Amino acid sequence: MRKGKSPRPAPGEILIKVKACGVCHTDLHIVGAEWSAPRLPLIPGHEVVGEVEAVGDGVANFRVGDRAGFGWIYCTCGHCEYCVSDRERYCSEYAATGFMVDGGFAEYIKVPASHVVAMPPELEFAGAAPLYCAGLTAYRAVNISGLRLGETVAVWGAGGLGQCAIQIAKVLGAQVIAVDIAPGKLAIARRLGADLVVDASREKVGEGISASGGAHVALCFAPSEQVVARAFESLRLCGTLVLVGLPPGTFTLPIIDSVRKGVRILTCAVGTRQDLREVLALAASGKLKCLVESCGLDQINEVFQRMRQGRIEGRVVVEFP
């Protein structure tokens, strides 16, 4: 959005003065034209936090000056079978922030007040922004997996989402195995509480985890067909594979082994607003923290290049003065 006079919110909307917006791998898919955006030009960014600048008619849940944020889900209908059953991502009227509508790499953004979630006062803007997507998606992945106290979870990919998943799994009392090929990310995983870290570039990790008893849950955050296959191998009988990372093209999994082992295969895109409230509560209590580095909007292309090269160990957040 160009500098100048800020827009006015329509009825049911609020105007947010953006303080920070996280940079997500999904943004890279969009700006790299791997995903065909339904409209151009387009402002990306969907991990948005800031202060309420103005409130449209009919809005009762926010006031000017409130701290607020929102993520990938810009709006839904709120009453279809998916919206009322904890699956609002699949609403036919769903719109995605920074993909179907302009996103948060801007000074101001208008958004339906119904889909904005208040930001706890205990959190800082830069640290909170990635929670609205990375933290939320990791939380949803752990939640739908059914992971329980004392079980073993293998987290494949110890970047931003994986780091959140490690912390969430430890809150649940799980044993966590973190798998990656980057020594820096594995060091971070250990600091965050992983019980075992494994360098996948040096070991046959899937077979190794399976031989030691196997994982009850494998969370696959790395966008790689090979990683998906290794994560599947790591599962014990009746284990659960949750696919989050998005490898390009297609990949296969062994149907016979899936049936023989009783494996559940689930997918996870993003969580709900209620999931997000629970994520923010975890962070506000000090049990979940995103490791972030800040940059200016003029550095965004450099950030995308580092992202392509796998040289970001946590999350990057664009901060606005």
**3-class DSSP string for 53-71:** EEECCCCCCCCCCCEEEEC
Residue 47: which domain range?
Answer: 13-133+271-319
Q: Is residue 25 part of a domain?
A: yes
125 shares a domain with 46: yes
The pLDDT of residue 1 is 42
Number of domains forming the structure of the chain: 2
Distance, in Å, from the CA atom of 220 to the CA atom of 19, rounded to the nearest integer, reads 31
255 shares a domain with 169: yes
Element (H, E) at 20: strand 13-23
Distance, in Å, from the CA atom of 240 to the CA atom of 262, rounded to the nearest integer, reads 9
Q: Is residue 6 part of a domain?
A: no
The pLDDT of residue 202 is 78
31 φ/ψ sector (left φ>0, alpha ψ -120 to 50, else beta) = alpha
- Percentage helix, strand, coil for the chain under 3-state DSSP, each rounded to 5: 30, 25, 40
Per-residue pLDDT of the chain (321 residues; tens, 9 = 90+): 445 567 789 999 999 999 999 999 899 989 988 888 888 899 999 999 999 999 999 999 999 999 999 999 999 999 999 999 999 999 999 999 999 999 999 999 999 999 999 999 999 999 999 999 999 999 999 999 999 999 999 999 999 999 999 999 999 999 999 999 999 999 999 999 999 999 998 777 877 888 789 999 999 998 888 899 999 999 999 999 999 988 777 888 889 999 999 999 999 989 999 999 999 999 999 999 999 999 999 999 999 999 988 889 889 999 998
- Neighbouring CB atoms inside 10 A of 38's CB total 11
- Neighbouring CB atoms inside 10 A of 176's CB total 27
CATH of residue 87: 3.90.180.10
Instruction: Report the predicted TM-score, pTM, of the whole model to 2 decimal places.
Output: 0.93
206 shares a domain with 93: no
The pLDDT of residue 2 is 45
Domain endpoint, select from 267, 289, 304: 267
The pLDDT of residue 264 is 96
228 φ/ψ sector (left φ>0, alpha ψ -120 to 50, else beta) = alpha
Domain endpoint, select from 240, 267, 294: 267
Paired tokens of 185: 């990310």
Q: Is residue 167 part of a domain?
A: yes
The pLDDT of residue 133 is 96
How does strand 108-112 pair with strand 152-156? unpaired
